[in-house]
Structure 1
Amino acid sequence: MLPPEPEHGRKTFPLISECDLSSVSHNSIAADLDGTLLKGTLSFPYYILVAIDAGSLLRGLILLMSLPIISVIYIFVSEHIAGKMLIFITFAGIKIRNIEAASRTVLPRFYAADVRRDSFEVFNSCQKKVIVTANPIVMVNTFSTEFLGAEKVIGTEIEVDQRTKRATGFVVEPGVLIGEWKKLAVMKEFGDDLPDIGIGDRKSDHDFMSVCKEGYMVPKDHFASLVSPQCLRSQSIFQDGYLERPSSYVVDYIWLPLRFLLYPFRAYINLTLIEGILKCAYRQMW
């Protein structure tokens, strides 16, 4: 099943900073997640976290090594195919309860450290809040509903083998939710009463934003102000005060193999240094 042909001459949308909630009553909103409600535009670090926590270090390493290929396919071939590859490598063969556990206990503390203030204030001011994302629902549902206050998450559904209760790595039709599929999903969810506001951060979000009464773009900004995690709907995972950006976690993981390779050299240098110090001390004594 293929989505409808995209409309030519896409309309342009004002920036999120131009949204004045005090002058107009906004009851409903449809918002993208990565790059919109979250400052980070890439979801890959979160997939790495799930692959390691719900799967294994080996799975995380395979996913990391696959990144160049996935990136090339995303840029030059198809965002849809790249998304399917990312989901397959991350989830194939993992028990669904392990994925749910990682999404409930690990991901929220990383997501919470990356929530943009400007877009979240607009999102939080509406009554009916729906998140429309290409990410698997099982991966973002807990954070979106419990911490951001979303009423529902519309996203990609991963296929689960009902006999083994493991993810097959494939996605349920219509596939990865991007472009026109987001638009159709929003229209199906809201019916005749379409969202008052639609916010996104990339051209593929224009499809669902175009059916909203008002649409706003969230520009990429490395210095965008973030929401304090204590200001979110739930703080149940922040009691230890530990919060970290997922990028730093991934960097540590990338360095892990190199640390193993450097260990023999470090041990040799340390032992040689200690031996030299002992010899020097021995000569001084005698």
Structure 2
Amino acid sequence: MLFLSVLLSLTKWLCYHIVKSCYQTAKKMKSYSFNFFDLSSTPLHQPSSFPTIMNCDLKDRKSQTLVCDIHSILLRNHSFFPYFMLVAFEGGSILRAFLLLCSCPLLWFLSYERKLKVMIFITFCGLKIKDMEMVARVVLPKFYMENLNFKAYEVLVSVGFRVFFSCVPRVMVEGFVKEYLNGDDVVATELDSLGCYFTGLVCKDGLVVKDWAVMDYFEDRKPDLGIGSSCFNDNHFISSCKEAYMVTNEISPTSIMSREKYPKPLIFHDGRLAFFPTPSSTLYMFMWLPFGIPLSFYRLLLGTIVYYKYGLALVSFSGILINHKGYNSNSNTTKSVTNKGVLYVCTHRTLLDPVFLSMSLRKPLTTVTYSLSKVSEIMSPIKTMSLTRDREKDRETMQRLLSEGDLVVCPEGTTCREPYLLRFSSLFAELADEIVPVAMHANVSLFYGTTASGFKCLDSFLFLMNPWPCYNIEVLEKVPREFTCAGGKSPYEVANYIQRKLGESLGFECTNITRRDKYMMLAGNEGVVKEKK
């Protein structure tokens, strides 16, 4: 018995010291930049004689010139890896993204310069220049905006001339800096290209070194204001400025920029990733794929082969969260005199809006669509009818469908991910006096179920691949007769009234932006599929 007690005590002492030694070793490794979760550069935390940015006076600086880095100063997350992952996944392929993730153990041990060159090579080798331009225009700005340091941004907008320096490739930052931050010039690493493809190599000048780049750019002149980072060796970078301040690495509520203070409204963005792809979150995504792919097929089959009366319960058991409220069977299904069916007017978040509405109402519905892919049309569990964008033909089609039963329309004509409502088409207001608005909102954690420039046939599949996709459905009261065309209102007044009611219900902002505006920005076309002759 005594022997057993001594053995347990010895084991406990040994385990304690092993765990303590491992913890101390891990801390020491982290201090030498062996940090898996930060693949940008080595935090130096060197003391600085420069004051913090909180002490910077913002008055009377419109005639001054400012110099600063982008990642280490303007962004709260200093790691380069997530932005390279976005380019690799959205501009390249899932295979390229997986290769970049697999390089993390190697990047863990490399020096700063070699680490960056390896990420550049894996991300850009063989990548089309036009694909990179698309990512820079419609994918990266969302993640840059969400990571902006508000205090640094306040100093930025107070000056009249802004020059940005960065060691990451110019093609990754120039578009955002000039369009959203009104940057006057960008000094960044240039990449080699061969024809319309990147080689993955940097130009002969190599990576941009901020310290030397500032002196080369301004020569004998001195910039008026410089901002450096206390986590990196920026003392020399800003020492040539007449006035200099430091940004700390601490993330406080004052450094987080709210959506209302964005440089310009972020209404549209594209790409499939709905999360910030740090090494750990990207690893979780790839670990989820073996489970998410069959789960998505299972959810699709449930919606396709199961009767709508029982589909809601089975779909909920598969992990899809559906929050439904506001439905009153006595008031919301009153049939009009001229039509046999009820016209449901929905906000448009994904292609599955009418499907989930049909399940939540437990009744068959018909929906009209624009440019629906053949795959989505075949897999749809409810009846779909394509519109032609010919106003008279579409009017006849919708009137016929209304005479046959209940109809769902999405007057925005396209989806919008952000809390905005696009302009409502007024055609639906001319067709029925019995109109029921439906406020719909979808939440995802891994993949967006919409795209403007990608493969639309994968929209529903990717939405259902999320672990816990969520749909919030609120059926509002029927539109009063005095606010319909039968009550003397014009179709445009009816459309604007319903848009405003849905916006108030969701807390979204109403806009005059159209479907055409969205596709011109995200895909460079009007979003119309030409018929084959």
TM bucket (normalised to shorter chain) is 0.7 to 0.9
Deviation at 1:239, TM superposition (A): 4.8
Deviation at 1:190, TM superposition (A): 2.3
Change (3 A) 1:131 1:245: farther
Return the letter of the residue paired with 2:86: L
Deviation at 1:263, TM superposition (A): 6.4
Q: For this pair of structures, how many residues does the alignment match?
A: 248
Q: Give the corresponding residue for 2:184.
A: 151
Change (3 A) 1:251 1:194: same
Does 1:231 pair with 2:261? yes
Return the letter of the residue paired with 2:153: F
Secondary structure in structure 1 of the residue aligned to 2:227: strand
Mapped partners of 1:174, 1:200: distance in 2: 24
Mapped partners of 2:275, 2:237: distance in 1: 28
Does 1:207 pair with 2:205? no
Structure 1 residue corresponding to 2:81, chosen from 40, 44, 61: 44
Q: Which whole-Å deviations, capped at 9, do the CAs of 1:195-223 have from their partners, x for residues lacking one?
A: 11111214332232111112211100232
Structure 2 residue corresponding to 1:67, chosen from 79, 87, 104: 104
What are the ranges of 5 or more consecutive residues in structure 2 without an aligned counterpart?
Answer: 1-45, 297-533
Deviation at 1:109, TM superposition (A): 0.9
Structure 2 residue corresponding to 1:111, chosen from 130, 141, 144: 144
Change (3 A) 1:169 1:239: closer
> 1:109·1:238 contact (CA, 8 Å) conserved in 2?
no
Does 1:169 pair with 2:200? yes
Identity percentage of aligned residues? 32
Deviation at 1:251, TM superposition (A): 5.6
Mapped partners of 2:234, 2:169: distance in 1: 17
Greater Cα shift, 225-234 or 123-132: 225-234
Does 1:20 pair with 2:48? no
Q: Give the corresponding residue for 2:210.
A: 182
Q: Which whole-Å deviations, capped at 9, do the CAs of 1:8-36 have from their partners, x for residues lacking one?
A: x9963221112123377760100111131
Change (3 A) 1:23 1:266: closer
Q: Give the corresponding residue for 2:430.
A: none
Deviation at 1:232, TM superposition (A): 3.7
Mapped partners of 1:207, 1:37: distance in 2: 18
Mapped partners of 1:42, 1:26: distance in 2: 32
Change (3 A) 1:246 1:187: farther
> 2:222·2:240 contact (CA, 8 Å) conserved in 1?
yes
> 1:26·1:196 contact (CA, 8 Å) conserved in 2?
no
Mapped partners of 2:239, 2:274: distance in 1: 32
Deviation at 1:146, TM superposition (A): 0.8
Larger Rg: 2
Q: Give the corresponding residue for 2:306.
A: none
Does 1:191 pair with 2:216? no
Mapped partners of 1:245, 1:186: distance in 2: 36
Change (3 A) 1:85 1:23: same
> 2:53·2:245 contact (CA, 8 Å) conserved in 1?
yes
Q: Give the corresponding residue for 1:275.
A: none
Mapped partners of 2:206, 2:139: distance in 1: 26
Does 1:256 pair with 2:293? no
TM-score, length-normalised on structure 2? 0.43
Q: Give the corresponding residue for 1:102.
A: 135
Mapped partners of 2:246, 2:58: distance in 1: 15
Q: Would you tell me which structure has more helix in proportion to its own residues?
A: 1
Mapped partners of 1:20, 1:252: distance in 2: 39
Change (3 A) 1:246 1:204: farther
> 1:156·1:175 contact (CA, 8 Å) conserved in 2?
yes
Does 1:54 pair with 2:81? no
Secondary structure in structure 2 of the residue aligned to 1:204: coil
Change (3 A) 1:171 1:239: closer
Q: Which whole-Å deviations, capped at 9, do the CAs of 1:87-121 have from their partners, x for residues lacking one?
A: 11111110111111101110001111111111111
Return the letter of the residue paired with 1:67: C
Secondary structure in structure 1 of the residue aligned to 2:252: coil
Mapped partners of 1:213, 1:146: distance in 2: 28
Mapped partners of 2:59, 2:275: distance in 1: 35
Mapped partners of 2:69, 2:62: distance in 1: 21
Return the letter of the residue paired with 1:109: K
Return the letter of the residue paired with 2:203: V
Return the letter of the residue paired with 1:220: N
Mapped partners of 2:95, 2:294: distance in 1: 24
Mapped partners of 2:114, 2:51: distance in 1: 30
TM-score, length-normalised on structure 1? 0.77
Q: Give the corresponding residue for 2:118.
A: 85
Mapped partners of 2:293, 2:139: distance in 1: 33
Q: Give the corresponding residue for 2:427.
A: none
